[in-house]
A and B are shown apart, each in its own frame.
Chain A
Amino acid sequence: MSAPATVAITGLRTFLGLRVAERLAARSPRMRVVGIDLRRPQRLERKTAFERVDLTDPASHAQLAEIFARERIEVVLHAAFRRDPTPDVELDHELETVGTLQLLHACAAAKVPRLVLASSTMLYGPRPDNPLYLAESRPLHGHPDAHCVRNRVEVEQLVGEWARAHAHARVTVLRCGWIMGPTHWDRVVRHFSRPVVPTLLGYDPLLQLIHEDDCVDAFEQAVLDERPGVFNLVASEPLPLSAMLRLGGLHSAPLPPALLYPLRDLASRAATGDPPAAFYDYLRWPWVADGERGWAAFGEPAYTTREAWISFVSSRRLRQYR
């Protein structure tokens, strides 16, 4: 089992896409990385080739298949997912769900042997009746109101069906927890970067993070070595939300759900198109994943949840001076 010589990354401008591309390019001089996105990233390693493909374009599967065949792509890392959901629910669906379908068609046409999918433990869904430590075999309930989570559940289903239909292809799915660290930025990070963090009064679930470096490490390994299957990618030792806030010295505003949901409703719909329950339920009910299978395959993360959180909080303090 040797490392692949050519790798394609969809969503080159995403956090994962860019970081994994940098790592791979730095790794060996023979490795060729083809990045695919709508726009060229501002900073790009010289060895990384860039191809412009719009996944919402109905003809994009042919375009992708042509690139994959021309470059003799051995592994595709599919990371073309929104960092934040947008109020344009239709567009998100076109990009994430239908875009994945386009990519899968292209992979089949170009006979790409391996696919790595970036997924999330948010897909298990926050539910009062969840056991702590959800195994990979648990059903993906998602969240009924969160269109981004709904799309990603559909993406996993599509990829699963595709893997069953194409026996030659090996698929790795990595479900990450909330990614935190000095540089990663998304709506979760934004939520915890507010001067006062709104929380739900009377609720204090265990939360689980993954440090951005551990996350990039695992994706790099998944691209380099063949490890088919579905894995949770989370840090150990989840912490209660209250302990995290106390640890970071963050001010929180605990509001009763009956007040918080209507209060946040307009803001939330303007920012993400979803009602606030779609996010705040993740601060209400448990959705902690069991990381043991992932640790066995990709090694134990260097950062625990507490350390990942401290890494984020200390860089958050520095950001104020930048």
Chain B
Amino acid sequence: MSDDERDAPATPALADALVGLRQRLEQSFAPPEEGGIDWMALYESARRRFAQVGGMRDIPAEIDDFGMDAAALADARTWLDWLYDRWWRVDVVGSENVPSGPCLFVANHSGLLPWDGLMLAHALDRHTPESPRARFLVADWIATLPFAAPWITRLGGVRACRENAERLLRTGRSVIAFPEGAKGAAKVFRQRYRVQRFGRGGVVRTALAARRPLVPVAVVGAEEAHPVLFKVETVARSIGIPFLPVTPTFPALGPLGLLPLPSKWSIEFGAPVDASDIGRDALRDDTLIWRVTEELRSSIQSMLDAGVRRRSSVWS
């Protein structure tokens, strides 16, 4: 044994052993020739995900000014596609009515979770992939819900208020609004496809102020995805949500019951209402605003009625 070897500390020996062990492990988990699972890749991605200290390499690349995260969207694309194509088999009708520029989509709303907004934004993204992704507005209580709210923001949800919608429209992004608001989400099953009052005309005011067209949209199918049999309000208020829905599966099946039912969806775009030639003076004309709001509401209602008549069953 030479002097060098005797003086060397124990650590290199340990390091050698570790390197050997690692090589051995890599051999056993090496990617298979064909098919099968690449364990090393899985391990590597899990390590990256859980290692907090990513430093500059893991710079979250594209987060826009309303918190939409391009990386999160790209990750979510697989299951968004799956929901769109397989689960709800979404059909799009009247896509020729979608204007090329940014506009304000006005749709009927249902369900506590913003599935309709996610799917509508996804449909628009597929229809016009080159334009910036349309952003859907979500109710206050969803926008402040712990855990859910950050994810909804990352996937393109924005808290519903006029300032946010106007800013989005002004900066060249389309907005999807559900002016029924909480009343739409709170519809019980026997009220399905009865469009509720449209707030106080805020959508029309927003479109007028931003000089963007309004596009009525009817979403058929979403109202059966979470059939609310009845609502419990007393318990819900105490945990900060407007009401606790009781569906055939929730809360009976626990969190599993939150999964939406696989109804067949169709999304119909109506003829756009051009707000740009009405003029800004109309902003002070309450009668006009109420009339346009009511026209929008009734056109969505008639599209819904036609859509419900057209389909043969809820599931196909």
Main secondary structure of the interface of A (DSSP, over half): loop
C-alpha spacing A129/B158, complex, angstroms: 12
| Segment at the interface with B among A26-34, A199-207, A259-267, A271-279 | A199-207
C-alpha spacing A206/B159, complex, angstroms: 13
In the complex the two chains form, is A129's CB within 8 Å of B140's CB?
A: yes
The answer to whether B249 has its CB under 8 Å from any CB of chain A is no
Minimum distance in angstroms from B155 CB to a CB of chain A = 13
| Segment at the interface with B among A46-54, A68-76, A89-97, A241-249 | A241-249
The answer to whether B144 has its CB under 8 Å from any CB of chain A is yes
Identify which of residues 8-65 in chain B touch chain A, using a CB-to-CB cut-off of 8 Å.
Answer: 52-56, 58-60, 63, 65
C-alpha spacing A252/B52, complex, angstroms: 8
Q: Select from chain B the residue with minimum beta-carbon distance to A203.
A: B146
| Segment at the interface with A among B106-114, B161-169, B250-258, B260-268 | B161-169
Q: Select from chain B the residue with minimum beta-carbon distance to A135.
A: B163
In the complex the two chains form, is A203's CB within 8 Å of B150's CB?
A: yes
In the complex the two chains form, is B63's CB within 8 Å of A202's CB?
A: no
The answer to whether A285 has its CB under 8 Å from any CB of chain B is yes
In the complex the two chains form, is A246's CB within 8 Å of B58's CB?
A: yes
C-alpha spacing A128/B145, complex, angstroms: 10
C-alpha spacing A132/B163, complex, angstroms: 8
The answer to whether B67 has its CB under 8 Å from any CB of chain A is yes
Main secondary structure of the interface of B (DSSP, over half): mixed
Interface size on B, residues (CB 8 A): 29
The answer to whether B189 has its CB under 8 Å from any CB of chain A is no
In the complex the two chains form, is A202's CB within 8 Å of B67's CB?
A: no
The answer to whether B66 has its CB under 8 Å from any CB of chain A is yes
Chain A 200-218, CB-CB to B under 8 Å as 1, else 0, gives 0111101000000000000
C-alpha spacing A202/B153, complex, angstroms: 13
The answer to whether A139 has its CB under 8 Å from any CB of chain B is no
Q: Select from chain A the residue with minimum beta-carbon distance to B160.
A: A131
The answer to whether A251 has its CB under 8 Å from any CB of chain B is yes
A contact residues around B65 at 8 Å (CB): 132-133, 237-238
- Asked whether A128 and B144 contact (CB < 8 A) given A246-B60, A247-B60, the answer is yes
The answer to whether A140 has its CB under 8 Å from any CB of chain B is no
In the complex the two chains form, is B150's CB within 8 Å of A247's CB?
A: no
B contact residues around A203 at 8 Å (CB): 146, 149-150
Minimum distance in angstroms from B232 CB to a CB of chain A = 23
Interface size on A, residues (CB 8 A): 24
The answer to whether A240 has its CB under 8 Å from any CB of chain B is yes
A contact residues around B163 at 8 Å (CB): 131-133
The answer to whether A239 has its CB under 8 Å from any CB of chain B is yes
A contact residues around B63 at 8 Å (CB): 239-240, 243
Minimum distance in angstroms from B207 CB to a CB of chain A = 17
A contact residues around B67 at 8 Å (CB): 206, 240
In the complex the two chains form, is B144's CB within 8 Å of A285's CB?
A: yes
Identify which of residues 161-214 in chain B touch chain A, using a CB-to-CB cut-off of 8 Å.
Answer: 161-164, 167
B contact residues around A131 at 8 Å (CB): 159, 161-164, 167
B contact residues around A252 at 8 Å (CB): 52
In the complex the two chains form, is B53's CB within 8 Å of A128's CB?
A: no
Q: Select from chain B the residue with minimum beta-carbon distance to A250.
A: B52
B contact residues around A250 at 8 Å (CB): 52
In the complex the two chains form, is A249's CB within 8 Å of B164's CB?
A: no
Q: Select from chain A the residue with minimum beta-carbon distance to B164.
A: A131
C-alpha spacing A206/B69, complex, angstroms: 12
A contact residues around B69 at 8 Å (CB): 240, 243
In the complex the two chains form, is A128's CB within 8 Å of B54's CB?
A: no
Minimum distance in angstroms from B69 CB to a CB of chain A = 8
C-alpha spacing A129/B138, complex, angstroms: 12
C-alpha spacing A202/B150, complex, angstroms: 8
C-alpha spacing A126/B272, complex, angstroms: 38
Q: Select from chain B the residue with minimum beta-carbon distance to A134.
A: B163
Chain B 54-86, CB-CB to A under 8 Å as 1, else 0, gives 111011100101110100000000000000000
Q: Select from chain B the residue with minimum beta-carbon distance to A286.
A: B159
In the complex the two chains form, is A243's CB within 8 Å of B60's CB?
A: yes
Q: Select from chain A the residue with minimum beta-carbon distance to B55.
A: A249
B contact residues around A129 at 8 Å (CB): 140, 159, 161
Identify which of residues 183-232 in chain A touch chain B, using a CB-to-CB cut-off of 8 Å.
Answer: 201-204, 206
Minimum distance in angstroms from A172 CB to a CB of chain B = 25
Minimum distance in angstroms from B90 CB to a CB of chain A = 29
C-alpha spacing A75/B4, complex, angstroms: 74
Chain B 119-162, CB-CB to A under 8 Å as 1, else 0, gives 00000000000000000000010011011011001100011011
A contact residues around B54 at 8 Å (CB): 246, 249
Can you list 9 A-B pairs with a CB-CB distance of less than 8 A? Answer: A128-B144, A129-B159, A131-B167, A132-B66, A203-B150, A206-B67, A243-B69, A245-B52, A249-B54
Instruction: Other than A131-B162, A132-B158, give 20 A-B pairs with Cβ distance below 8 A.
Output: A128-B140, A128-B143, A131-B167, A132-B163, A132-B167, A133-B163, A202-B147, A203-B146, A203-B150, A204-B149, A238-B65, A239-B60, A240-B150, A240-B153, A243-B69, A246-B54, A246-B60, A247-B58, A250-B52, A252-B52
Question: Which A-B residue pairs are the 7 nearest by beta carbons?
Answer: A202-B146, A131-B163, A204-B150, A249-B55, A243-B60, A128-B144, A202-B147
